[in-house]
């Protein structure tokens, strides 16, 4: 078994607004093995982005990581000081965001921005106290732009973001994120703002880079198709909690949670000539200001039992790699140890 690069243990993140505490992430635990691509799927407000921002420690006031551990290479990121974290960001863990235009600074050239990142994290091989020389940093930037498929990188590097198209901006951001050879890349809906043909290019690129560099990737999206295309493992989130996780085959072919099953039924099947009516999930997602006491999905779940409304389910082990948080599995499987839910197993 490959080594775990990241392990979240019961992570809780809240935002303290004037309306009250918004419990965006309410106890999420998962791990990522080296060289894997973990997909996190969920609807808006499911806590998928806040979880990854917590890993990057980019939660600003009024938000706060309340509880839990973020183990990355043997250290708990939740306990690091801001300076120590700044050291890791960009060099060990990088992130790319949904909107490439707002993530790039419009008044600096791509060269300025890339060289800045590289010089912040990479030291001069001859003099380890100094950052790498500007010339070497530029060479490195050009190399990575070439790697992500920017045509004429020598010329393009001197241009401003507005001179790039949407797909190229996203490529430039990926180049920037990878330029310091991070161990972990977090991609937060990087293809949502792009057209399908460009999305196909970016997914192809990520797959290729992953196999070349061996970087582990956390890929956040709401598109099940993208997950099926790219990821090796999947975490399904809803209402700030993890509903189910497993390998991509398990999540797509034998989902054990009613929410995962509902998601599959609400997208049209691609079989030609066959038109089955879509089965939507009735109702709407929970309000995280007053999250439901029990399972967040219970109010919309067709199988909901009394206990579902009262108490959140523990994680049930379905196979060695698949766990699901649903009371329906109660008798079938043992409770995963170390997960803090009162009254766990029966």
Partner 1 sequence: MSNENREVLLEVKDLKKHFVIKRSLFGQPVSTVHAVDGISFSIYKGETFGLVGESGCGKSTTGRTIIKLYDPTDGEVVYDNEEIGGLSHHQMKPYRQKIQMIFQDPYASLNTRMTVTDIIGEGIDTHKLLQGQERQERIYQLLERVGLKREHASRYPHEFSGGQRQRIGIARALAINPDLIICDEPISALDVSIQAQVVNMLEDLQKELGLTYLFIAHDLSMVKYISDRIGVMYLGKMMEIASSDDLYDKPLHPYTKALLSSIPLPDPEANKKSNRIVLEGDVPSPINPKPGCRFASRCRYCEKICTEKDPEFREVLPERFVACHLVEKINNL
Contact residues for partner 1 (CB under 8 A)?
43-44, 165-168, 195-201, 203-204, 222-230, 248-249, 252, 262-268, 270, 272-273, 275, 277-282, 284-285
Task: Compute the C-alpha angle 221/280/190, nearest 5°.
Answer: 10
What is the Cα–Cα distance from 195 to 329, expressed in whole angstroms? 40
Residue number, 69 or 229, with CB nearest to partner 1: 229
Q: Shortest Cβ distance from residue 94 to partner 1 (Å)? A: 23
Q: Shortest Cβ distance from residue 113 to partner 1 (Å)? A: 21
Answer whether 55's CB lies under 8 Å from 102's CB: no
Residue number, 43 or 69, with CB nearest to partner 1: 43
Sequence-ordered strand ranges (E) for 131-215: 184-188
Q: Shortest Cβ distance from residue 282 to partner 1 (Å)? A: 7
Q: Shortest Cβ distance from residue 87 to partner 1 (Å)? A: 36
Q: How many Cβ atoms from other residues are within 10 Å of residue 12's Cβ?
A: 18
Q: Shortest Cβ distance from residue 227 to partner 1 (Å)? A: 8
288-325: burial string, b at 16+ Cβ within 10 Å, e else: beebbebbbbbbbbeebeebbeebbbbbbbbeeebbbb
Q: Shortest Cβ distance from residue 168 to partner 1 (Å)? A: 7
Residue number, 61 or 197, with CB nearest to partner 1: 197
Residue number, 83 or 196, with CB nearest to partner 1: 196
State residue 225 phi and psi, 5-degree precision. Answer: -60, -45
Which SS3 state, helix, strand or coil, does residue 70 take? Answer: strand
Name the residue among 64, 103, 47, 59 with its Cα closest to residue 85: 59
Residue number, 89 or 264, with CB nearest to partner 1: 264
Answer whether 291's CB lies under 8 Å from 26's CB: yes
Q: Shortest Cβ distance from residue 71 to partner 1 (Å)? A: 28
Cis ω before 62 (30° cut-off from 0): yes
Which SS3 state, helix, strand or coil, does residue 204 take? Answer: helix
Which SS3 state, helix, strand or coil, does residue 223 take? Answer: coil
Residue number, 56 or 231, with CB nearest to partner 1: 231
Residue number, 122 or 228, with CB nearest to partner 1: 228
């Amino acid at each position: 078994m490959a080594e775990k690069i990241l392990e979240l243990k019961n992570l809780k993140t809240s935002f303290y607004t004037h309306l009250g505490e918004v419990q965006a992430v309410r106890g999420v635990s998962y791990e990522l093995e080296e060289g894997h691509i973990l997909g996190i799927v969920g609807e808006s407000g499911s806590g998928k982005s806040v979880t990854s921002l917590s890993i990057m420690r980019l939660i600003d006031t009024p938000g706060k990581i309340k509880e839990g551990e973020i183990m990355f290479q043997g250290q708990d990121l939740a306990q690091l000081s801001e300076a120590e974290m700044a050291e890791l960001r960009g060099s060990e863990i990088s992130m790319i965001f949904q909107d490439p235009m707002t993530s790039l600074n419009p008044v600096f050239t791509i060269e300025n921005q890339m060289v800045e990142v590289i010089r912040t994290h990479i030291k001069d091989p001859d003099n380890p106290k100094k950052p790498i020389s500007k010339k070497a940093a530029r060479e490195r930037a050009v190399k990575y732009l070439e790697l992500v498929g920017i045509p004429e990188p020598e010329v393009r590097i001197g241009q401003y973001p507005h001179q790039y198209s949407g797909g190229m901006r996203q490529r430039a951001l990926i180049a920037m994120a990878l330029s310091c050879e991070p161990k972990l890349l977090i991609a937060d809906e990087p293809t949502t703002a792009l057209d399908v043909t460009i999305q196909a290019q970016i997914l192809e690129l990520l797959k290729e880079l992953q196999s070349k560099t061996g970087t582990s990737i956390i890929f956040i999206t709401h598109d099940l198709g993208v997950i099926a295309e790219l990821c090796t493992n999947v975490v399904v989130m809803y209402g700030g909690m993890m509903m189910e996780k497993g390998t991509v085959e398990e999540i797509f072919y034998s989902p054990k949670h009613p929410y995962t099953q509902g998601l599959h039924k609400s997208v049209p099947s691609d079989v030609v000539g066959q038109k089955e009516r879509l089965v939507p999930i009735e109702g709407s997602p929970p309000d995280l200001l007053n999250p439901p006491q029990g399972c967040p999905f219970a109010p919309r779940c067709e199988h909901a039992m009394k206990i579902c409304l009262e108490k959140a389910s523990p994680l049930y082990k379905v196979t060695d790699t698949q766990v699901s948080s649903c009371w329906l599995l109660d008798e079938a499987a043992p409770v995963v140890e170390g997960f803090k839910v009162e009254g766990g197993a029966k």
